[in-house]
């Protein structure tokens, strides 16, 4: 009998996009199917963890729900995702996989904005809170290791390695995972570049679930 590598561990995951309302029928969002985050949730449960999955709007089925080892909270906006995430305490690993919209509409209209000829409305934006940055600020040390262990994600169109490394340092997190394939949206496949304090590791193209399992193996060794 082999003990599962995340037995007794608690894992918090944000996944999917967030949606910021302009009015009751319109809004802005970031592109994300949620598939990578949901794959990580599944892989973590397989490894024996208790998972809390905080999901933006996406129509994916909760993985391994029948095990009773996953709680799912559905949210819409970045503010809601931030509140749900920061409410959690005492977990071992945080995976920030969500593609969080960077800006919210400052004052969403209560009623549908009517079109006025060819004129477009001027929208005012407000920066959304950075969920990962705020979680990273709460990190403590437990038995000489960061707690929770924070893993960020980076989707970039150019210079993945430099941008991802910069993000890792700016957010003060030990690990960041870059999507090598620029268009992983909606795909079941991905290719990852994992950057931690020891350098870079490429994970060649594979199913997102396969990559998620490899990532869980890597992170389990860090905690
Ligand atoms: O800040 P940036 O979008 O460049 O970094 C991406 C990483 O930060 C991802 O892990 C994403 O989930 C997280 N993030 C967040 N809250 C935000 C923006 C990004 O948690 N408002």
Q: Which is catalytic among the residues 30, 128, 179, 190? A: 30
Task: Using DSSP, state whether 12 is helix, strand or coil.
Answer: strand
Give the atom of ligand 1 at the shortest distance from the alpha carbon of 102. 21
Look at the block and give the residue holding tokens 């990273």: 136
Strand partners, 154: 178
Q: For residues 53 and 37, what is the distance between their CA atoms, to the nearest angstrom?
A: 8
- For 18-32, what is the mean pLDDT? 96
pLDDT in tens, 30-59: 989 999 999 999 999 999 999 999 999 999
- For 123-140, what is the mean pLDDT? 97
Global pTM value: 0.96
Give the atom of ligand 1 at the shortest distance from the alpha carbon of 129. 21
Ligand 1 midpoint to CA 133 (Å) = 8
**Banded pLDDT at 182 (limits 50, 70, 90):** low
Ligand 1 midpoint to CA 43 (Å) = 21
Q: Mean pLDDT of all residues in the chain?
A: 95
Give the atom of ligand 1 at the shortest distance from the alpha carbon of 170. 1
The DSSP line for 54-120 is EE-S---PPTTGGGT-EEEEE--SHHHHHHHHHT--S-SEEEE--B--SEEESS--SSPPPPBTTB-
Give the CATH H-level superfamily of domain 10-104+124-220.
CoaB-like (3.40.50.10300)
The mean-pLDDT minimum among 6-20, 68-82, 87-101, 180-194 falls in: 180-194
Look at the block and give the residue holding tokens 């905690």: 223
pLDDT at 1 over 90: no
Annotated binding site for CTP: 102, 112, 129-132, 153, 167, 171
List ligand 1's pocket residues with C-beta within 6 A.
14, 78, 96-98, 100, 128, 130-132, 152-154, 167
Q: For residues 4 and 50, what is the distance between their CA atoms, to the nearest angstrom?
A: 12
The DSSP line for 143-174 is TTEEESEEEEEEE-SS-HHHHHHHHHHHHT-S
Instruction: Select from 169, 165, 96 the least CA-distant residue to 135.
Output: 96
* 166 CB-near residues (< 8 Å, 6+ apart): none
Share of the chain above pLDDT 70, in %: 97
Ligand 1 midpoint to CA 111 (Å) = 30
Ligand 1 midpoint to CA 105 (Å) = 18
Annotated binding site: 102, 112, 129-132, 153, 167, 171
Strand partners, 203: 192
Active-site residue 30, yes or no? Answer: yes
- For 3-19, what is the mean pLDDT? 96
**What ipTM is given for this predicted complex?**
0.98
**In testing the pocket of ligand 1, which one of 98, 128, 136, 160 has its CB within 8 Å of the most ligand atoms?**
98
Task: Using DSSP, state whether 52 is helix, strand or coil.
Answer: strand
Q: What confidence score (pLDDT) does residue 156 get?
A: 82
């Amino acid at each position: 009998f082999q003990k599962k590598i995340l037995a007794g561990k608690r894992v918090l995951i944000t996944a999917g996009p967030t949606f910021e309302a302009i009015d009751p029928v319109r809004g802005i969002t970031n592109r994300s199917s949620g598939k990578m985050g949901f794959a990580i949730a599944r892989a973590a449960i397989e490894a024996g963890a208790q998972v809390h999955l905080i999901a933006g709007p996406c129509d994916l089925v909760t993985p391994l729900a029948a095990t009773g080892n996953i709680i799912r909270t559905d949210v819409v906006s970045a503010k809601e995702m931030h509140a749900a995430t920061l409410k959690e305490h005492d977990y071992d690993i945080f995976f920030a996989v969500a593609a969080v919209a960077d800006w919210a509409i400052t004052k969403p209209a209560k009623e549908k904005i009517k079109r006025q000829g060819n004129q477009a409305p001027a929208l005012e934006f407000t920066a959304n809170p950075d969920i990962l940055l705020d979680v990273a600020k709460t990190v403590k040390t437990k038995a000489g290791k960061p707690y929770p262990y924070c893993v960020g994600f980076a989707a970039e169109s150019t210079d993945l390695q430099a941008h991802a490394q910069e993000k890792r340092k700016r957010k003060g997190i030990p690990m960041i995972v870059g999507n090598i394939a620029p268009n992983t949206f909606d795909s079941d496949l991905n290719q990852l570049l994992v950057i931690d304090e020891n350098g870079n590791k490429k994970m060649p193209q594979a199913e997102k679930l396969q990559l998620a399992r490899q990532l869980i193996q890597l992170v389990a060794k860090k905690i």
